[in-house]
Amino acid sequence: MLKVGIVGGTGYTGVELVRLLARHPNAQLTVLTSRTEKGQRVDQMFPSLRGVTDLVFSDNTPEQLAGCDVVFFATPHGVAMKQAASLLAQGTKIIDLAADFRLQDTAMFEQWYGMPHSEPALLKESVYGLPEVNRERIKTARIIGNPGCYPTTVQLGLLPLLKHAQMSLVIPESLIIDAKSGVSGAGRKAETSLLFSEASDNFKAYGVRGHRHHPEIVQGLAHIAAQSANGEALAEKFKGLTFMPHLVPMIRGMFSTIYIRLTEAGQAIDVQRLYDDCYKNEPFIDVMPAHSSPETRSVRGSNMLRIALHKTQPDLLTVLVVQDNLVKGAAGQAVQNMNIMFGLDETAGLMNVALLP
């Protein structure tokens, strides 16, 4: 039985980790930290966990986390890197749900997150935790940088076109990603724009001049493309893609619409078959029948990501991707990574059916 700790247990991703791990057949949640709620019972803050856990929030100290096989960081950016070396020294593996171990370029990290990276050597060792791309590397990793929610939808929405191409199928610089997220993606915090009266009955774009997930998307797509024919030439061109996130008046859920201009070679292939073949053995990817219209509620509370394809013009492919931003977009994917790291059944603790209605 794995001994598991969570640093930062009072946010939405933290409590989602508790929900998933409390019923995991191979994991025992032993430590849940919070600087502000130390000493309080977890089920007092989150009544949904009454009868599920009797844990009490503790302080975030090396002594509290000693003995854990794996520690999840559901914390603001910059926290995990400060504790990573000491945890690794005691044999504890790390899965960070923030951005400390996502971007391999330290200058890029410092530009977008406004802080120096204190562990560049550990950053180089870390593995980007997108199982459908890096499963083999995840198996032997000590540090996982759990992907961002938007980048998960974009990379998995484009993976078949990039991974299996023996020739260039897409025009990278033409990519347009029109993405929407529920308000839980902004975290559990007091902020005017997230108040009910502000977010409800409203729809708006944000990060219009640049979003932190843009360089992560570019890095991920370039990594995938670099492994296929003409990949190196394609990788640089992804910097020209357009990414526009929006906030929609729902609690959880994410919908990314990806517009792709196809090359002549891309126009000639059966894209539906390409996606079906690519994901046929992936437990958490559902390629829907051609011309389907996926809904966010079809994945709510589950680790499933659904994809639908629409070829609206000979050279234009529209890919629709939905996921729960707190599950496959965060905590669920983190647990999926844990399962892979420790040689467990990859689906363990994650076979929840979506909530509907």
Residue 178 sits in a domain whose CATH number is 3.30.360.10
Same-domain status, 66 and 167? no
Give the residues across from 317 on adjacent strands: 260, 311
**Which pLDDT band, with edges at 50, 70 and 90, does 97 fall under?**
very high
Q: By the 8 A CB rule, do 282 and 346 touch? A: no
- Phi, psi values for residue 233, rounded to 5°: -70, -35
Rounded Cα distance between 78 and 284, Å, is 30
Q: Please report whether residue 203 resides in a domain.
A: yes
Instruction: Please give the structure tokens belonging to residue 150.
Output: 């938007």
Q: Between the CA of residue 184 and those of 53, 249, 325, what are the distances in Å?
A: 23, 10, 8
Tell me if 303 sits within 8 A of 284, measured CB to CB. yes
Same domain, 210 and 100: no
Q: Last residue of some domain: 65, 92, 125?
A: 125
The pLDDT of residue 48: 92
Mark whether 24 and 94 lie in a shared domain: yes
Could you give the CA distance from residue 9 to residue 31 in angstroms, rounded to a whole number? Answer: 9
Q: Are both 179 and 313 inside the same structural domain?
A: yes
**pLDDT at res. 232:** 63
Domain identity same for 219 and 300: yes
Domain end marker among 125, 140, 161: 125
Rounded to whole angstroms, how far apart are CA atoms 99 and 285? 24
Q: What's the total number of domains in the chain?
A: 2
Same domain, 120 and 154: no
Q: Which long-range contacts (CB under 8 A, 24 or more apart) does 47-54 make?
A: 48/19, 49/15, 49/18, 49/19, 49/22, 52/18, 52/19, 52/22, 52/23, 53/18, 53/22, 53/29
Q: What is the mean pLDDT of residues 159-167?
A: 79
Radius of gyration of the chain (CA): 20
Catalytic status, residue 278: no
Q: Among candidates 224, 235, 242, 244, which has minimal Cα distance to 164?
A: 224
Same domain for 181 and 317, yes or no, is yes
Domain closes at, from 60, 92, 125? 125
Q: Let me know whether 279 and 154 are in one domain.
A: yes
Residue 282 is assigned to a structural domain of this protein: yes
- Residue 199's pLDDT is 84
- What is each CA distance from 247 to 11, 251, 267, in whole angstroms? 19, 10, 33
Q: For the segment 246-303, what is each residue's pLDDT rounded down to a tens digit? A: 999 999 999 999 999 999 999 999 999 999 999 999 999 999 999 999 999 999 999 9
Categorise residue 161: left if φ over 0, alpha if ψ from -120 to 50, beta otherwise: alpha
Q: Are residues 157 and 116 in the same domain?
A: no
Q: Are residues 115 and 160 in the same domain?
A: no
> Region 126-140: what's the mean pLDDT?
98
Question: What does the pLDDT average to over 74-91?
Answer: 95
Single out the catalytic residue among 6, 149, 175, 321. 149
Residue 31 located in a structural domain: yes
- pLDDT value at residue 193: 78
Encoding tokens for residue 307?
């994809």
How far apart, in Å, are the Cα atoms of 198 and each of 100, 182, 280? 30, 13, 42
CATH number at residue 36: 3.40.50.720
Q: Is residue 356 part of a domain?
A: no
Confidence of residue 77 (pLDDT cuts 50, 70, 90): very high
170 and 274 share one domain: yes
Would 345 be classed as within a structural domain?
A: no
* Span of 19-23, 38-42, 131-135, 161-165 with lowest mean pLDDT: 161-165
The verdict on residue 293 lying in a domain is: yes
ω into residue 147 within 30 of 0, thus cis? no
Model confidence at 229, pLDDT cuts 50, 70, 90, reads low
Q: Show the domain range for 96.
A: 2-125
- For residues 122 and 143, is the Cβ–Cβ distance under 8 A? yes
Predicted local distance difference test score (pLDDT) of residue 233: 65
The answer to whether 252 and 326 have CB atoms below 8 angstroms apart is: yes
Q: What is the pLDDT of residue 62?
A: 81
Average pLDDT for 339-355: 97
319 pLDDT higher than 80: yes
Question: Above 70 in pLDDT, residue 115?
Answer: yes
Taking residues 147-176, report their average pLDDT: 90
Cβ 315 vs Cβ 262: under 8 Å: yes
d(Cα 76, Cα 98) in Å, to the nearest integer?
6
pLDDT band at 336 (very low <50, low <70, confident <90, very high): very high
309 and 216, same domain (yes or no): yes
Burial readout 295-313 (b: 16 or more C-beta within 10 A, e: otherwise): ebbbbbbbbbbbbbbbbee
Looking at the domain assignment, is residue 329 inside a domain? no
User: Is there a domain that residue 20 lies in?
Assistant: yes
Closest CA to 250 of 175, 327, 183, 202: 183
Position 167 confidence tier, pLDDT thresholds 50, 70, 90: low
Cα 138 to Cα 126: distance, rounded to the nearest angstrom: 9
Confidence grade of residue 139 (pLDDT, cut at 50, 70, 90): very high
Please report, rounded to a whole number, the percentage of residues in the chain having pLDDT higher than 90. 80
Tokens 């629409």 found at: 310
